[in-house]
Copies of this chain bind each other. A is one copy, B any other.
Amino acid sequence: MEKTDDPAVACPIAPVVDLVFSRWTTPILWALHEFGRQRFVELERRIGVITPKVLTQRLRQLERDGLVVRTYHPEVPPRVEYEISDLGRSLAPLFASLAEWGSSNMDKVDHARQVYDARP
C-alpha cells in the first residue's frame, strides 16, 4: 500500500469538513440560519466570545465561499447586514441531522469518557 499524500483521496469528505466545520464557521452559519439577517454587531454578540477581527475574517471567507451574503448600506453610521445564502441554507438538513445525532448520542460519549478515565 502506497502512502497517500492527497488528503482528499484519503478522505473524500475532508474538503466539505474544511469548508463547513472550520472553527467559527459553524456558529456563524447557525446564528444566521436561526435568527435570519443580522448586522455585524448583532452577530458578534450572538456568537459570544469572538473578536471583531476574527469575525470579519470568517465572514469574508464565508462570503467568498458563497455561503453568506453581505449587504453594505452606505449610510451614516454605516450599516452592514449578513444573511445566509441559498447554498448555505442547503446545509440545514445536515445541521439538523448533526443536532439530532448529538442529542441521541452525546450522553453515550460522556459515558464512554467516564469509563475510560476510570480505568487503572
Which residues of A are interface residues toward B (Cβ below 8 A)?
Answer: 1-7, 9-17, 19, 21, 26-27, 30-31, 42, 45-49, 63-67, 87, 90-91, 93-95, 97-99, 101-102, 105-106, 108-109, 111-113, 115-117
Is A97's CB under 8 angstroms from B97's CB? yes
How far apart sit A78 and B11, CA to CA, in the bound complex (Å)?
28
Q: Which residues of chain B are within 8 angstroms of A4 by Cβ–Cβ distance?
A: 45-48
Known: A10-B27, A90-B101. 18 other contacts (CB 8 A): A1-B45, A1-B46, A2-B45, A3-B45, A5-B49, A6-B48, A7-B49, A11-B47, A12-B30, A14-B27, A16-B106, A65-B109, A66-B116, A67-B109, A87-B112, A93-B97, A94-B97, A94-B98
Is A31's CB under 8 angstroms from B46's CB? no
Is B66's CB under 8 angstroms from A17's CB? no
How far apart sit A117 and B63, CA to CA, in the bound complex (Å)?
11
Least CB distance, A54 to chain B, in whole angstroms: 14
Tell me whether A66 and B109 are in contact in the complex, defined as CB-CB below 8 angstroms, given that A16-B99, A21-B21, A99-B13 are known contacts: yes
Is B93's CB under 8 angstroms from A108's CB? no
Q: Which residues of chain B are within 8 angstroms of A93 by Cβ–Cβ distance?
A: 97
